[in-house]
A and B are shown apart, each in its own frame.
Chain A
Amino acid sequence: MNSLQNRANAVMAFSISAIFCLLGAIALSAFIIPTSPNGLVAVNSIKVVTGRYDKTWFDYKTRDNQFANTVMQIDADLSSLFHWNTKQLFIYAVAEYSTPTHSKNQIVLWDSIIKRKSDAVIRKKGIKNKYSVIDVNKKWTDIHANVSLHWNIVPYVGFMTYGHSQASEPYAFPLPSGIQT
């Protein structure tokens, strides 16, 4: 601390140590802030249609792969997840089911990014699936799937944390009725 440069260096060096402590405390504070998120996803209708896979897939030639077209509604209040260390939320509706060949299958039906606390109360109806809903076996017969709302909290500093709502009651997939356009 003898010369001017020494003192400037000492101040900067100590402030870097201190800011890491501050950021660490902020990151850990996210675990003790109480949150009470709740969400509900309901599927209003499921329609199964047949069609081709995307043309990059090897079995483009077959037209009888079964796709499900779903319409759902979401009622969720995630505003309590927005605290001082929340940058944004990534929310996604997941359909989960099991088949004789695969015990756990999860398909993301819809997703969204929420950047403001005022947008975190979601009352949406008539949400169509954003992504193709197709099983590994390409058939939907005798499958019952439940849906739930998942969220991923993206912090300013610290750990990414995940959560999800309670799963809905299982929905049955109907027989194919129509051809995908």
Chain B
Amino acid sequence: MLEYHIDFQGQNLAEQITQGVISIFGVIGFLVGIVFQDIRLSLYIFVAGIALTALLVVPAWPYLNKNPQQWLPSKAKAAKAAALKEQEATKEKIA
């Protein structure tokens, strides 16, 4: 139910965004903290980075679903369709 799948390219992109955004905010947080000599500022910036990343990648935004995978039809369905076709063909023959 509440799975909100995304496609393969979307998964790759989400992974890169997660690592990139959190790392960048960590570096910014460290630099801002050491310049302003305030450890709390560092951690607030870091937590803001986590929140932003979560907002960007956790919901299944449309930009993560741009390349949906085209799956083959299932074997059971294919067999049923083939059987139906055959039946119709035999009916036509009889007629």
Identify the closest chain A residue to B30 (Cβ).
A25
Q: How many residues of A contact B (CB 8 A)?
A: 24
B14 to chain A, nearest CB (A): 5
A11 x B54 contact (CB < 8 A): yes
B39 to chain A, nearest CB (A): 5
Residues facing B in A24-49 (CB within 8 A) are: 25-26, 29
B11 x A2 contact (CB < 8 A): yes
Residues facing B in A62-88 (CB within 8 A) are: 83-85
Main secondary structure of the interface of A (DSSP, over half): helix
Q: How far is the CA of A149 from the CA of B60 in the complex (A)?
A: 61
Partner-contacting stretch, out of A14-22, A91-99, A103-111, A129-137: A14-22
B18 x A11 contact (CB < 8 A): yes
Q: Mark B3-38, 1 if CB is under 8 A from A, else 0.
A: 111100011101100110011001001100110111
**A156 on the interface (CB 8 Å rule)?**
yes
Q: Which residues of B contact A3 (CB under 8 A)?
A: 3-5
Q: Which residues of A contact B59 (CB under 8 A)?
A: 4
| Interchain pairs with CB closer than 8 A, number | 76
**A8 on the interface (CB 8 Å rule)?**
yes
Q: Which residues of B contact A19 (CB under 8 A)?
A: 26, 46
**A1 on the interface (CB 8 Å rule)?**
yes
B33 to chain A, nearest CB (A): 6
B60 x A4 contact (CB < 8 A): yes
B60 to chain A, nearest CB (A): 7
Identify the closest chain A residue to B35 (Cβ).
A84
A21 x B50 contact (CB < 8 A): no
B4 x A4 contact (CB < 8 A): yes
A11 x B58 contact (CB < 8 A): yes
Q: Which residues of B contact A85 (CB under 8 A)?
A: 39
Q: How far is the CA of A25 from the CA of B15 in the complex (A)?
A: 24
B18 x A22 contact (CB < 8 A): no
Residues facing A in B28-66 (CB within 8 A) are: 29-30, 33-34, 36-39, 42-43, 46, 49-50, 53-54, 57-60
Closest 5 CB pairs of A and B: A1-B11, A3-B3, A84-B37, A4-B4, A15-B50
In the complex, besides A3-B5, A11-B50, A15-B50, 7 extra interface pairs with C-beta distance below 8 angstroms are A4-B60, A11-B18, A11-B57, A18-B22, A22-B29, A84-B37, A156-B39
